[in-house]
Amino acid sequence: MYEGIEPTRIFINFLDQKSSITDAPDARPVPVAERLGIEMVNIHFSYRHGKEVLRGFNLSVKPGSTVGIVGRSGIGKTTIRQLLCRMFDAQQGHILISGSDVRHWPLEQLRGVFSSVSQEGGVFFSRTSITDTIRFGRPEATFREVVEAARCACIHDDIVRMPEKYRTRIGQRGVTLSKGQQQRMALAQALVALGKRERC
């Protein structure tokens, strides 16, 4: 298929590609409160050479509120998340977080306020303790923060019933955990990564 080109070279070239999404010249750290509001106004977006995924989409999430977006596969749920953290830019419309357009946020700060939990669970490495697994996204997190996140994610009771509690080692890809435990562990990872300290 790639005659005369080594697969390794293709892979390296792919990694060397630079994203078209970069910090704006006037990007400065945005002062934010603990709870952020989100406004998506008249968003139009399509992937390259594809049909429009979002057309005139509007979303308002007040600080401290919880919103669920549901629907069949392909309607744009993942696209909304990718636009919020600027994996892509909308072709039309505005996205405001904490009152500031996402295009004016430094990318590192913007992506630091988001954390995702996949249906497939979190990040698991073979022979890694539960404590280190939960603080994967923020290794400097304290043990207390790990336990608080586990309580919020409703996985603490399961952990303390394990042979070595938080020192229990997890198998590759979380095979020693049930699917539900994997997902709750992933939620605990996300809470720790965000530095979330409020009690549940």
Q: What is the pLDDT of residues 62-83, one digit of tens each?
A: 887 777 877 777 778 888 888 8
Q: Which two tokens stand for residue 127?
A: 């022979």
- Please, are residues 114 and 130 in contact by the beta-carbon 8 Å criterion? no
- Report the share of the chain in percent with pLDDT over 90: 8
- Please, are residues 137 and 149 in contact by the beta-carbon 8 Å criterion? no
pLDDT at 58 over 90: yes
The CATH superfamily assigned to 38-65+72-112 is P-loop containing nucleotide triphosphate hydrolases (3.40.50.300)
- Please, are residues 63 and 89 in contact by the beta-carbon 8 Å criterion? no
Q: What is the pLDDT of residues 37-48, one digit of tens each?
A: 889 999 998 887
Instruction: Please tell me the distance from the alpha carbon of residue 65 to that of residue 192, in angstroms, as a whole number.
Output: 20
pTM for the structure as a whole = 0.58
Instruction: Find the helix or strand (DSSP H, E) in which 97 lies.
Output: strand 92-97
Which pLDDT value is given to residue 18?
A: 59
What is the pLDDT of the chain when averaged over all its residues?
A: 78
Strand, helix or coil at 10? helix
Q: Where are the domains of the chain?
A: 38-65+72-112, 128-194
Which pLDDT value is given to residue 156?
A: 92
pLDDT at 174 over 70: no
Q: What is the pLDDT of residues 140-168, one digit of tens each?
A: 888 999 999 888 888 899 898 888 888 88
Q: Which long-range contacts (CB under 8 A, 24 or more apart) does 10-15 make?
A: none
pLDDT at 1 over 50: no
Which pLDDT value is given to residue 137?
A: 77
